[in-house]
Structure 1
Amino acid sequence: MSSSSNRQRLNIDNINQHVRSAQYAVRGELAVKSEQFRASLVGGTSGLPFTQVISANIGNPQQLDQKPLTFFRQVLSLLENPVLLEHEDVLLNQLDYKPDVIARAKFLLSKVGSVGAYSASNGVPAIRQSIADFLERRDGFPANEADIYLSAGASSGVNTLLHIICADEKSGILVPIPQYPLYTASLSLLNATCVPYLLDEAKNWGTDLATIRESYEKATAAGIDVRAIVIINPGNPTGASLPKEDIRAVLDFAREQRLVVLADEVYQTNVFVGEFHSFKKVLRELQKENPGKYDSLELASLHSVSKGMVGECGHRGGYFELVNFDPEVQAEIYKFVSIMLCAPVIGQCLVELMVNPPKKGEPSYELYQKEYTSIFEGLKERATALHKAFEQMEGVECGTPQGSMYLFPAINLPPKAADAAAKEGRTPDEFYCMRLLEATGVCLVPGSGFGQKEGSLHFRTTFLPPGTQWVGSIVKFHQEFMDQYR
């Protein structure tokens, strides 16, 4: 037997190198280490200086004790086990199910048949119609269910759209920096070009058109075919909520340069300051004001059940809506989603519940409203507490929480900390986050994982974990870290 037949076919150098080069910081080295710590704590022989791991690195609400909304879970339970519907008296009188829960489950079952069966590739028609109705209520403009595609969370929708838009390595996508690393990682996998544009930290992380134009022109001059612009609103990791004039300016620039607009709007209900303006609504307003001028501007908007007050990340439900896309291109998008068969049907049903929750006067409304408001107020309260803590920390600057589930403070670390980081082959913000994890069990993500302005340092934290004790441990650690490396 030859020695070569005794070796594995795959090694780190001959697998797809685009996968190898992709970076995804929110589940990177720090997250892996935090899970090892968590396992040690469960084993009871950790010897660690903390008693719990706080995963503030990822927007995963139900891992951090956010309670599922009762109406949603009760309907899902009946969809998964329809035999329960044969015992309505027990559901109503002993298990505290409400009549509208039963009615909704029956409606959805009549449309999907069984959640164990494939649906149409782009999703159950009745669910797409329910989304279209929601979009019309939200924006005041009609929506067409044929332009709506259910997906396994917004990430799957992003993957579909980028596969369609990116033809080769010269295809460029304008991506905000800092950004959610899904975008840079996906472009890496596709061997396409990320064209970064910096958000304006001094302007609450708003978009700056001059910066976008500069990035676009630089890439175009280098032979890149810039085809689309990504906007995350409300922002991740920044929490920024864009004013309407910023959205109008971006749409105008996109029309001028013939760019597809990818509007990632998964945090649309997580807004603490101002209000959420959808790209679709602003585009329709522009079309109304300027007949014909914006009719070729392609917009794809994404939403998900993973965020907001729903927090059902594990159910993998989401959708995207296409506006002004060529029908032949749309047919290819349908083919692409067909290759993946369909989004999880139970996730699709959850999307229907999200866009069509109990209404005033319905039996489940009062409890739904109470739970929803409690989650929203809890998030706002913790965001404010965290912001206050950062304000008292030496060398830390952080804007007022505006939305989403994150804060992205800037940190100024002493030169000695940068030297110690370099010895470990880390960036100073990675070094800081690693020391913090080892000392407190709190897992954050260094700003370098999202991209940041040259010479600046940040970290991203969620404000999902309950309580404030973990915030106190960050403040204490920070003071000791600064004293050590002064």
Structure 2
Amino acid sequence: MRGAFKAAGFLRAQVAKDAFAGKLPGQWSCRALFSQMQLPEQSKEGKVLHPDLLNNDLLETKYAVRGEIYLKAEELRQTGKEVTFTNIGNPQALGQSPITFYRQVLALCAAPFLLNHPDVGKLFPSDAIARAKHYVDGIPGGVGAYSDSRGNGLLRKEVAAFIERRDGHPSNPDNIFLTDGASVAVRLCLNALIRSRQDGLLCPIPQYPLYSAGVQLYGGTLVGYELDEAQGWGMSTELLKSCVEKAKKEGVLCRGLVFINPGNPTGQVLTADNLKEVIKFAYDEKLVLMADEVYQENIYAAGSSFVSAKKVLMEMGAPYADNVELLSFHTVSKGMIGECGLRGGYVEMTNIHPGAIDQLYKISSLNLCPNLLGQIVTAMMCNPPQPGDESYEQFYKEKNGTYESMKRRAKMLIDGFNKLDGIECNDTEGAMYAFPSLVLPPKALAAAAADGRSADEFYCLALLADTGIVTVPGCGFGQVEGTYHFRTTILPKEEKMPEVVAKFSDFHKKFMAQYS
């Protein structure tokens, strides 16, 4: 019903546009047209904002990471049950400690009067004091004042300098937008890219549900390209090409291509050769590349390393380096930082038309500015303590300790899954997740169908009820038809991971025995 209502609304709007443009017969005046149109329902049950009368794209938007299972977990937690939230990459919620240097600088920026305290040198290291003074002096009005809508200019220069060091190629601070986390940057770009349902976004399957939700919310069409699980979740440009052609036959024009490197939820790491193929494909098909690189520090597999899409693009030279449109995203929420709640991130725009950047600047101005503490921690992520700084040794001890622990936890979890009948799991080469495949007995599939659920959703709900472990069913990310998965993080504290693995194992064995 809602879909039909929306279609009728679109038709009315299009007829009205044609009438204004003089494309309809003269007797079809605008006034006559509108007099024949039935106005939509104003309210229901006394409410204008009734669920049946909301924006249909909003109603159809789904975000599985915080869906039904998460809500049930919150209910259980409030009753006193121990709940382990492995549904989302939220490191500090599971016990990861903040990096001391970042918090010291933030504390001084938030309370700059401490910089003049006679004992400040006893409480804070000299480089944290110097960095805080640098930021306080460079942020007019301090952290309680609005900044430029793209973010403070000094802080954007630090991000640009980081990108130049990483890639060996120039970065323009004016083409960098600081945002309240990478998610806001992604939605900003999707909103600009999508014009109607005829506009498609190529997106990996499985994918992080931000993309499917964003495409739905802004009225576009998600065009999924399946990653090859048997080949370590590999990409295929031949498959991408077939997806573009199929979409065209269905009246959908692909305008953008998303890839997540390292992968979420799949954990694979793309090589420079992989990226070259994707860039050539984007050039041939005239696609905007959206490079989700928020896990670039989370690389665990021996021999693997992160290489940015921009670095590969610039090194390819003409005609690619000066033509392919690239949007690159990064955040402080991941890596070894895990400052999810501070909401800091950025998008760098490469080969984007200056007029389009101006329009994105205009839309960013509706939010006035991203929060200043998030901007500051983004700049610090890009400009950490250096050798010789007082904080250097402690900073890298904390950061490397977290990194090595994540590597061990990833192996512990994957090994635990692969010992179980009915579960197969690729190695987590990068990012923060495992995405095991479930091979469930026919009785379990029948029980799920009788409950009106997908089999992986049925499994995850049973897991939650039995163990208090919160996961996300694979259907929330997309998966090959007839396959079932779930996503879990590798983030429980290392000393608790054996207990988490044991709970998974005990539950899975009971579940399989019950439905065998």
Normalising by the smaller structure, the TM-score range is over 0.9
Q: What SS does the aligned partner of 1:319 have?
A: strand
Per the alignment, residue 107 of structure 1 pairs with: 134
Q: What SS does the aligned partner of 1:226 have?
A: strand
Matched, 1:261 2:289: yes
Per the alignment, residue 457 of structure 2 pairs with: 430
Query: Deviations 1:324-368 (Å, cap 9, x if unpaired)?
Result: 111111111111111121111110001011000001111000000
Matched, 1:21 2:51: no
Per the alignment, residue 82 of structure 2 pairs with: 52
**Cα separation, 2, equivalents of 1:339 and 1:295:** 31
Q: Judge conservation of contact 2:44–2:50 (CA < 8 Å) in 1.
A: no
Point out the structure with max Rg over C-alpha: 2
Matched, 1:276 2:337: no
Alpha-carbon distance, 1:292 to partner: 3.5
Per the alignment, residue 243 of structure 1 pairs with: 271
Alpha-carbon distance, 1:5 to partner: 9.3
Alpha-carbon distance, 1:293 to partner: 4.4
Equivalent pairs: percent with the same residue? 46
Matched, 1:34 2:61: no
Q: Judge conservation of contact 1:148–1:322 (CA < 8 Å) in 2.
A: yes
Q: Judge conservation of contact 1:179–1:236 (CA < 8 Å) in 2.
A: yes
Q: Judge conservation of contact 2:195–2:219 (CA < 8 Å) in 1.
A: no
Match of 1:91 among 120, 142, 145: 120
Query: Deviations 1:55-86 (Å, cap 9, x if unpaired)?
Result: 00000111111100000001000111111111
**Match for 2:380: what amino acid?**
L
Per the alignment, residue 163 of structure 2 pairs with: 135
Per the alignment, residue 184 of structure 1 pairs with: 212
Match of 1:443 among 462, 467, 470: 470
Per the alignment, residue 366 of structure 1 pairs with: 393
Match of 1:63 among 93, 102, 107: 93
**Cα separation, 2, equivalents of 1:363 and 1:335:** 41
Match of 1:213 among 241, 252, 264: 241
**Cα separation, 1, equivalents of 2:153 and 2:292:** 23
- TM-score with structure 1 length normalisation? 0.95
**Cα separation, 2, equivalents of 1:104 and 1:187:** 40
**Match for 2:59: what amino acid?**
R
Alpha-carbon distance, 1:8 to partner: 2.1
**Match for 2:121: what amino acid?**
L
**Cα separation, 1, equivalents of 2:84 and 2:333:** 19
**Match for 1:260: what amino acid?**
V
Q: What SS does the aligned partner of 1:458 have?
A: strand
Unmatched 5+ stretches in structure 2: 1-42
Structure 1 residues 292-301 or 250-259, which shifts more?
292-301
Q: Provide the alpha-carbon RMSD of the alignment.
A: 1.1
**Cα separation, 1, equivalents of 2:360 and 2:45:** 43
C-alpha distance 293-261 of structure 1, shift in aligned 2 (>3 A): closer
Per the alignment, residue 204 of structure 1 pairs with: 232
**Match for 2:409: what amino acid?**
R
Q: What SS does the aligned partner of 1:320 have?
A: strand
Alpha-carbon distance, 1:283 to partner: 0.1
Q: Judge conservation of contact 1:53–1:441 (CA < 8 Å) in 2.
A: yes
Per the alignment, residue 44 of structure 1 pairs with: none
**Cα separation, 2, equivalents of 1:86 and 1:131:** 28
**Match for 1:279: what amino acid?**
A
Alpha-carbon distance, 1:91 to partner: 2.8
Match of 1:9 among 34, 42, 48: 48
Q: Judge conservation of contact 1:206–1:246 (CA < 8 Å) in 2.
A: no
Unmatched 5+ stretches in structure 1: 42-50
Alpha-carbon distance, 1:39 to partner: 1.0
Alpha-carbon distance, 1:223 to partner: 1.7
**Match for 2:403: what amino acid?**
F
Q: Judge conservation of contact 1:255–1:294 (CA < 8 Å) in 2.
A: no
Q: What SS does the aligned partner of 1:213 have?
A: helix
**Cα separation, 2, equivalents of 1:317 and 1:454:** 36
Query: Deviations 1:291-332 (Å, cap 9, x if unpaired)?
Result: 334422100000000001110111110000011111111111
Higher relative contact order (CA 8 A, sep 6+): 1
Match of 2:315 among 285, 304, 312: 285
Alpha-carbon distance, 1:169 to partner: 1.5
**Match for 1:172: what amino acid?**
G
**Match for 2:269: what amino acid?**
S
C-alpha distance 277-416 of structure 1, shift in aligned 2 (>3 A): same
**Cα separation, 2, equivalents of 1:293 and 1:117:** 41
Query: Deviations 1:132-175 (Å, cap 9, x if unpaired)?
Result: 10001101111111111101100000011011111111111101
- TM-score with structure 2 length normalisation? 0.89
- Which ranges of 4 or more aligned residues in structure 1 deviate by more than 6 Å? none
**Cα separation, 2, equivalents of 1:187 and 1:345:** 28
**Match for 1:372: what amino acid?**
K
Q: Judge conservation of contact 1:123–1:150 (CA < 8 Å) in 2.
A: yes
**Cα separation, 2, equivalents of 1:210 and 1:102:** 54
